[in-house]
């Protein structure tokens, strides 16, 4: 994959949607992108856990955790599983934990914040539904690109 630099993507493709600021980079890969897979869940990462166990095929999981600051939706073990199964990264509208280990993982991870409490496991969540947060709707099959400058979304592959 070509180098991802979101300001350059914005300059070259003015039609991209730009996600409002507020996300931090936690993964070992600081610039990543790929086709979007969505998960909508609230304080329950059951569907995230299920998905990272499947082949990622270079895709990016966009997780709408409702912006919750009470539970982490990703930790080091799930991040390692995602990396080993070929996911390019995860963008989480919520929290992550075990960030020192996640930072050593060959995976892109952006989230709002860190929080040490793990999520609940109730088997709840939706897969491959449009999710909206920070001013952008993420649709399965569209593309997302992220780096230290921000996150952009496109209907088609850009790199």
Per-run averaged pLDDT (10 residues), the chain, 159 residues: 89 97 98 98 98 98 98 98 98 98 98 96 96 98 98 97
Superfamily per CATH, domain 6-154: Ribonuclease E inhibitor RraA/RraA-like (3.50.30.40)
Tokens, residue 11: 């300059």
- The reported pTM is 0.97
pLDDT for the residue numbered 89: 98
pLDDT for the residue numbered 150: 98
On whether 76 is known to bind a ligand per the annotation, the reply is: yes
On whether 77 is known to bind a ligand per the annotation, the reply is: yes
On whether 8 is known to bind a ligand per the annotation, the reply is: no
CA angle, 82 as apex, 78 and 83 as ends, to 5°? 120
Rounded distance, CA 34 to CA 143, Å?
5
CA angle, 123 as apex, 114 and 136 as ends, to 5°? 55
On whether 11 is known to bind a ligand per the annotation, the reply is: no
pLDDT for the residue numbered 96: 98
On whether 75 is known to bind a ligand per the annotation, the reply is: yes
On whether 106 is known to bind a ligand per the annotation, the reply is: no
């Amino acid at each position: 994959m070509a180098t991802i630099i979101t300001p350059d993507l914005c300059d070259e493709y003015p039609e991209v949607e730009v996600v409002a600021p507020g996300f931090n980079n936690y993964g070992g890969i600081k610039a990543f992108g790929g086709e979007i897979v969505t998960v909508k869940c609230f304080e329950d990462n059951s569907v995230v856990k299920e998905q990272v166990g499947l082949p990622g095929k270079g895709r990016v999981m966009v997780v709408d955790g409702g912006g919750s600051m009470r539970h982490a939706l990703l930790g080091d073990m799930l991040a390692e599983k995602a990396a080993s199964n070929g996911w390019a990264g995860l963008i989480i509208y919520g929290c992550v934990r075990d960030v020192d280990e996640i930072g050593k993982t060959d995976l892109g991870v952006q989230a709002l914040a860190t929080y040490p409490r793990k999520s609940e496991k109730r088997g709840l969540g939706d897969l491959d539904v449009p999710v909206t947060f920070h001013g952008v709707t993420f649709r399965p099959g569209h593309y997302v690109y992220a780096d230290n400058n921000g996150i952009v979304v496109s209907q088609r592959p850009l790199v």
